[in-house]
Amino acid sequence: MSGSRSLLPADALDWAESVWPELKKVPGSLKTELLAGEASGRRYFRLEIPGTDESRLLMAGSFPGENLLWQNMGNMLIQRLPLPKIYGYLETDQNGTGDYALLEDLGDRRLDRQFFSATGESNAALYKPVIKILARWHKIALDLVRNSPSLGQNPDYSPAFAYKAEWRYFLTTLADLGLPEIGSAAGEKSLAWLMEFPAYPEVLIHRDFQSRNLIVAGAQVYILDWQGGRKGPAAYDLASLLYDPYVNLTDDDREQLLDQYQKERPEPGLRAVLTKIAPLRLMQTIGAYGHLVSRGLPYGAYLAPALTRLKVLLLTRPDFSEFCSLLDLAIDKAKKLHPSPAAFY
């Protein structure tokens, strides 16, 4: 939606002009665009000076504590990792004014859009630079933020955290689909196996490293929405990327990309950790989709593909047969309530 300055909160524009003085030189002619909202609840406005290639994104946030963590962590990570520049941040004051950020405008070429529009290029080739950046993140990000007070604000990834933030979240969505029985003894038995994590070297994980949080600008891939960063297993971010329900990577794609990651950053036992972490990541994703659907947002179409991928991951274990039968019921219900494009299966 395009328009004029009237789209913006008045105090946000006043603040943006203090950070970007060129805005004051274009009274009445500033081009503004309210970008399509995503799942976070934040609003993003593109500010563009007509007749130039100068533009910025203004974020109007609704999560002050989380946004401050995002800003503090971002200022450290951007030293050596490809993140959008943060030109300024205004923390919410006691009157509720503020919580704005002015960001580099990297365009609209999200990785999921590139995936479905790419021609003549293999999926593995499209994702090759993404894997290089993820391996680099895992090599250096923890050292970059180790002394930041923001790091300790997010609990480390652990079985206790996964139980609360992923398994319980997942069960809520299944109950909303009319399947509370998935949290039965069969589910708890399956969960016990998943929660027995092999040992892994600790890195800073992004915790939402998927195609909608990656922007392609020129020859560079940039990382967005790092506010969930915490200590945990590298396999979690790999699971987020390789089993992302927004795109449809093949098993061959995943193997090629996993092999590439291991060449970029060798980690003994990585595949064993991924075997446990990938189902938990999908449970978190399914829980998130259910929450977004409950808010009236159009994410229901991704429920059945995510549930199907979860089932495929667990089918190889005979002790998961009862749990997978319950997943079949969930998939059927999700397809009827929220049809998905055939390309997702």
Question: What pLDDT is recorded for position 1?
Answer: 45
pTM over 0.85: yes
For 264, how many CA atoms within 13 A lie in the half-sphere containing its CB?
Answer: 20
Question: What pLDDT is recorded for position 118?
Answer: 57
Q: Give a three-class secondary structure readout of the chain.
A: CEECHHHCCHHHHHHHHHHCHHHHHCCCCCEEEECCCCCCCCEEEEEECCCCCCEEEEEECCCHHHHHHHHHHHHHHCCCCCCCCEEEEECCCCCCCCCEEEEECCCCCEHHHHHHHCCCCCHHHHHHHHHHHHHHHHHHHHHHHCCCCCHHHCCCCCHHHHHHHHHHHHHHHHHHCCCHHHHCHHHHHHHHHHCCCCCCCEEEECCCCCHHHEEEECCEEEECCCCCCEEEEHHHHHHHHHCCCCCCCCHHHHHHHHHHHHHHCCCCCHHHHHHHHHHHHHHHHHHHHHHHHHCCCCCHHHHHHHHHHHHHHHCCCHHHHHHHHHHHHHHHHHHHHCCCCHHHC
User: Which domains, and CATH codes, for the chain?
Assistant: 2-104 (3.30.200.20), 111-344 (3.90.1200.10)
Sequence-separated (6 or more) residues with CB below 8 Å from residue 318: none
Question: What pLDDT is recorded for position 127?
Answer: 94
Say how far apart CA 167 and CA 171 lie, in whole Å. 6
Angle at which helix 251-264 crosses helix 270-294, to 10 degrees, equals 120
**Hey, CA dihedral for 78, 166, 255, 330, is it positive or negative?**
negative
pLDDT tens for the chain, residues 1 to 345: 455 455 677 788 888 889 998 887 776 678 888 886 666 667 889 999 888 889 999 998 767 678 888 989 999 999 999 999 999 998 876 555 568 999 999 999 999 988 776 555 678 788 999 999 999 999 999 999 988 877 778 999 999 999 999 999 999 888 888 877 776 766 777 788 888 999 999 999 999 999 999 999 988 999 999 999 999 999 999 999 999 999 999 999 999 999 999 999 999 999 999 999 999 999 999 999 999 998 888 899 999 999 999 999 999 887 888 889 889 999 999 999 888 765 555
Q: Is 261 exposed, middle or buried (0-12, 13-18, 19+ CB in 10 A)?
A: buried
Sequence-separated (6 or more) residues with CB below 8 Å from residue 338: 293, 300, 301, 303, 304
Sequence-separated (6 or more) residues with CB below 8 Å from residue 89: 67, 68, 71, 100, 101, 102
Say how far apart CA 131 and CA 245 lie, in whole Å. 18
